[in-house]
Amino acid sequence: MSWRNVWITAIVLAGVGIAVGWFFYAFEYVETDVPAPLHGEARYNPFYALAKVLRAEGVKVESRGSLNLKTMHLAAADTLVLGADVRTLSDADADSLLDWVDEGGHLVFALPPGGEGRGGKLLRDFGLKVVDAWDCVIWRTSRKKESNYYCSQFGFKLVSTDDEDASTAFDLLVGDAENGYRIGRQSWGDGGWLIASDLKFLRNAALREEGNAELAWQVLAPELQGGTVHLVYAVDVPPFYVLLIKRGWPVLAPLLLALLAWLWARSQRFGPLLPLAQGHRRALLEHIRAAGEFTFRRGSAYALYAPLRHAFDDRLRHADPSTAALDGEQQATVIANRRALPLTQVQQALAPVGLGQQETFAATIKTLQEL
């Protein structure tokens, strides 16, 4: 092994050692907790964390993906939290819920989003009307005394059926009559119900914040009467076309582009309906050729030869009068010697024989044109 290779190896090892040493000097190993994505029931149940908290407080909780009053067997002291659009309730289900609340049940639900003017039977029976007006409610936590904001796009107004103020029937009203109320609680027979603009503060991610957790307890605690809490996180399933547009657009977009490309490839190109008419042209050469072939087939080959021979004689008289004055064989000999051509070829051109044959006619005409 040469010294040159030894030095190269030493330099490379030194560079690697310096890089490793700088890495351990500049960087420090630190353990970091990274929130893992939701999995299992927490992925599809937005009230999963709320159920865990209530069970930790000793409350019996049942979570359901749909509202089925026949199988739920709601008791008088139970609490029902509806986490979806109440407009999907049938008239029979709305009447059953009203009877259950009147017998001692407690209902917690949210306003239907975007439902101004069409809140559904349940809201009409409670004397509520949805309004589209963005507003925020400020409230303070009991620990940090910090201001918290409960904001929503939709609120509700009270529909009074008599001259009395409808707000006096409520135990709690948060908001104002002009922009709409955001939270309301009212006794109804032996039970009661609570309405909020939305129940987002009860969902999994929102409960991590201390302010939302305290608001959730302030809202739900008066409704807990020792019975079972039924958490219904979905009472309806969006139509298939809605799911397709919301969830399936990564597949629909390429398919649409492929369809448009296929239609473009298969479609007829734009252009005139009829082909363009050909312009007028004089096919003089074609007519001359056709006339010559016709004349040759009729046995009049000499008639085709004669004009060219007359033109040759005229040129020869102007160019060489002495040669033009000679007789046939003498003239052919002089021209053959002067042009270095075979005598028989020149004689055939000047005194043709057998012009009726196509090959002889073509050779004769070619020689006469060269002369």
CB atoms within 10 A of CB 64: 17
Per-position DSSP letters for 104-150, written without gaps between them: T-EEEEEPPTT-TT---HHHHHHTEEEEEEEEEEEEE-TTT--EEEE
Q: Is the pLDDT of residue 74 over 70?
A: yes
For Cα atoms 340, 342, 347, give the angle at the middle one, nearest 5 degrees.
Answer: 115
Mean pLDDT for 139-165 is 72
Measured distance CA(150)–CA(211) in Å, rounded = 10
Stretch 289-309: mean pLDDT, rounded?
Answer: 82
Residue 210 DSSP one-character state: H
With tokens 């609120």, the residue in question is: 155
Q: pLDDT digit string (tens) for 174-189? A: 888 888 888 999 988 8
Nearby residues of 294 by Cβ (< 8 Å), 6 or more positions away: none
- Using CA of residue 209, residue 212, residue 218, residue 224, what is the dihedral sign? negative
d(CA 208, CA 253): 37
pTM score, whole prediction: 0.56
In this structure, of 83-87, 140-144, 174-178, the range with the lowest mean pLDDT score is: 140-144
Lowest mean pLDDT, pick from 157-161, 255-259, 331-335:
157-161
pLDDT average, residue stretch 237-264: 83
Per-residue pLDDT, averaged over 331-337, amounts to 82
What pLDDT, on a 0 to 100 scale, did the predictor assign at position 100? Answer: 92
User: Tell me: the pLDDT tens digits for 9-39?
Assistant: 888 888 898 998 898 888 888 888 887 777 7
List, as own/partner pairs, every contact residues 209-218 make where C-beta atoms lie below 8 angstroms and the sequence separation is at least 24, other chains included. 210/141, 210/143, 210/144, 211/141, 211/146, 211/148, 213/53, 214/141, 214/142, 214/143, 215/139, 215/148, 215/150, 216/50
DSSP state of 195: E
In the prediction, which pLDDT does 6 show? Answer: 78
* pLDDT > 70: percent of the chain: 90
Nearest to 72 by CA among 207, 205, 229, 192: 229
| Count of all residues that appear for the chain in the document | 371
Nearest-angstrom CA–CA distance, 112 and 228:
25
Which residues are within 8 A (CB) of 86 and not within 5 positions of it... i.e. 6 or more apart?
109, 110, 112, 119, 120, 122, 123, 235
Residue 354 CA to its chain's centroid (Å)? 84
pLDDT exceeds cutoff 70 at 333? yes
The single-letter DSSP state of residue 115 is -
**What pLDDT digit, counting tens, does each position of 194-222 carry?**
999 888 888 888 888 777 888 888 888 88
Residue 237 has pLDDT above 70, yes or no: no
For 262-297, what is each residue's pLDDT tens digit?
988 887 766 666 776 776 666 777 888 888 888 878
| Average pLDDT in the chain | 82
Please give the average per-residue pLDDT across 69-81, as a whole number: 88
* All domains of the chain in start order, with CATH: 40-236 (3.40.50), 289-370 (no CATH)
126/2: higher pLDDT: 126
